[in-house]
Amino acid sequence: MVVPLEMGWRHLLFENWPIEPSVMDAHLPDSLSPDVYDGSAWLSIVPFTNVAVRPKGLPESLGIRLPELNVRTYVTRDGVPSVYFFSLDAQGIASVLGARFFHHLPYFYARITLAHSDGRIRFRSRRRHPGARPARYEGTYRPTGDPFQAPTDSFGEFLVERYRFYTEAQDGSVRYTDVEHAPWTLYPADADVVTNTLFSAHGFATSDGEPVYYYSPGLDVVASRSRSV
């Protein structure tokens, strides 16, 4: 049994692209169904950094920092709105191996940098995991406008107010983890993404549409151990 984890998620960009539900369904395990907003499934790319990642109950000072880049979509199972992760690229080799082995998460080792400059966040990621499809991402982003609580906005709520995520383990089994956190605070966001090969790395055609961006300064999270469905 793996103990629950505590961590902070900081400086997140939610980059959201509409996808035909039938296309998304073909990419999901049979036990999950695409969740739909405004007639579309949604594929999201989320750069951010983890802070103070540690087993639940340990002090923050013993936690580690872990820059990360997620590819995710939105699903339901038994009526529960959830997230499905296609991949989680992260900087630390030991953390990636631990997450794959103990938590059955599709983590990939990547070289990642996240830095602040002139009010913007610059994020760069290059997947270096042996045997994995190459994937690169580079861009800058910043919050704009006024903050709002995600539950007060129908699309914001759809994207982030979800407290369970699913993954497919290396043995083909589908697993889930429950998370606890306060409601999200979001901002409209501006982003300049100059490189993004994550669509092709996961078998999606590059979208011609314009993405919808949201930024969050982040929140603190408790994640349960991984369980099989």
Residue 102: per-residue pLDDT: 64
Cα–Cα dist 26/40, whole Å: 14
Residue 62: per-residue pLDDT: 94
Residue 208: per-residue pLDDT: 73
Residue at token pair 């949604």: 42
3 state SS of 118: coil
Distance from the Cα of residue 77 to its chain's centroid: 19
Asked if pLDDT for residue 1 goes beyond 50, the answer is: no
Domains of the chain by residue range: 5-228
Q: What is the mean pLDDT of residues 106-121?
A: 93
Residue 99: per-residue pLDDT: 65
Asked if pLDDT for residue 7 goes beyond 60, the answer is: yes
Q: In a 10 Å sphere around its CB, with 0-12 CB exposed, 13-18 middle and 19+ buried, how is residue 79 labelled? A: exposed
In contact, 112 and 102? CB cutoff 8 Å: no
Q: What is the mean pLDDT of residues 189-200?
A: 96
Average of per-residue pLDDT values in the chain: 93
In contact, 156 and 212? CB cutoff 8 Å: no
Asked if pLDDT for residue 55 goes beyond 50, the answer is: yes
Q: What is the mean pLDDT of residues 168-185?
A: 92
The CATH code for residues 5-228 is 2.40.400.10
Cα–Cα dist 9/133, whole Å: 26
pLDDT in tens, 71-101: 999 999 999 999 999 999 998 776 776 667 6
Q: What is the mean pLDDT of residues 152-168?
A: 97
Among 52-66, 96-110, 136-150, 192-206, name the one with the lowest average pLDDT: 96-110
Residue at token pair 């966040």: 121
Q: What is the mean pLDDT of residues 95-113?
A: 79
Residue 3: per-residue pLDDT: 80
> Which residues on neighbouring strands pair with residue 188, listed in sequence order?
214
